[in-house]
Amino acid sequence: MSEKASFMVFSGTNSRYLAEKICQHLECPLGNMNITHFADGEFAVSYEESIRGRDVFLVQSTFPNSDNLMELLLMIDAAKRASAKSIVAVVPYFGWARQDRKDKPRVSIGAKLVANLLSVAGIDRLITMDLHADQIQGFFDVPVDHLYASAVLLPYIESLKTEDLVIATPDVGGSKRASSYSKYLNVPLVLCNKQRLKANVVASMQIIGDVKGKDVVIVDDMVDTAGTITKAADIMKEAGAKSVRAVASHCVMSGPASERVQNSALEEIVFTDSIPYSNRCSKVKQLSIAKLFAEAIRRVTEKESISELYLL
C-alpha cells in the first residue's frame, strides 16, 4: 500500500514487535510516536507526525502489567486531541476479560470497566481476537471486529497429519470452542471436568470421552499459570493417549507456567504471538497473527467484509 494511504498504524511499547510485522504485510511504515517516562513511573505519549484527518490504528495488547492499558488510553486520547478522523484500537489480547460477570457478591466486572475506559478515551472501533467470553462485545457501543485464532491454529493442527486425532477441552467452559474445532476437522471431542478450590488452583479433574491410543490436541483460549492444561495433559497420558499437544490463543504464561509445561506430558504447546513470550521453554511455539490483523485492517479501511477471514 502507498505511504499516502488514508490510514496510519502506531504501536504501544510492548506490542511493537507485532505492529512491525502487521505493517510489513500492509506495506506501510509504522507511525512515529514518542513515549516519555518520568521518575515516578508516569509516562506521556506524543505523536511525532501529523495525524489530522487520518484513520489511526493503535496496536496494543492489554496484557499485564497495567501500564500497557494506560499507555493505550493515552495513545487514544492524544490521537483524539490531534484531530484524527477515526481511532481504531487493535487489541489482539483483551485483558481483564475473565471478569465478565458477577459470579459472587461484591465483585467488579473488569471487562466492562475496560470497555468503558476505551470508549470514554475515544475509540471509534475495536479489533480484537478470541475474547475470553464472546458477550464482552456487547459491553461496547462501537463496532467490534472479533477475530479468531483458529485462522492460524487450525491449519497448524491439519499440518500435523495425525491419524487418530482427538480434540479436547481442559474445562467444560471451553466446550463450544473445542466442539467447533472437532466439527471442522471431523474428529471426536473429549471433555475435561475440573473443580477449583480457588483461582489458578485445580482441585480435581475427570476425563469425559476416550483418549486411549489417540493423538490428543487440547484447545483453549489462554494459558495463565498452565495448571489446568498440564494437569489435563498428564491425566490424558495416564489414560493411554498416544500423544498430547495443546493449542491456545493467548500466551499469558505467568509464574510457574513455563516450568509446568516443560515438566508435563505435553509434547508441545502452540500459541499465537498476541502476547510476547520471553521465558524460553522448548515446548512452546508461537504462530504469527500479523497477516490476519493486517488483512482485517485493510478490509476496515476499504469497507469490505471481514467475515471471510473466519474459518469457524
The catalytic residues are: 194
Distance between CA atoms of residues 267 and 246, nearest Å: 8
The CA-based angle 251-150-173, given to 5 degrees, is: 70
Q: What is the DSSP letter of 265?
A: S
d(CA 29, CA 142): 27
> Radius of gyration over alpha carbons of the chain, in Å?
20
Render the burial of 214-251: b for 16+ CB within 10 Å, e for the rest: bbbbbbbbbbbbbbbbbbbbbbbbeeebbbbbbbbbbb
What is the spatial distance between Cα 123 and Cα 79, in angstroms, rounded to a whole number?
A: 10
What SS3 state is found at 9?
strand
Task: Give every strand in the sheet of 165-169, ordered side by side.
Answer: 201-208, 189-198, 165-169, 215-223, 243-251, 269-272, 284-287
Provide the Cα torsion 90, 96, 99, 100; round to 10°: 0
Angstrom CA distances, 302 to 8, 80, 129, 156, 296, stand at: 14, 22, 20, 29, 10
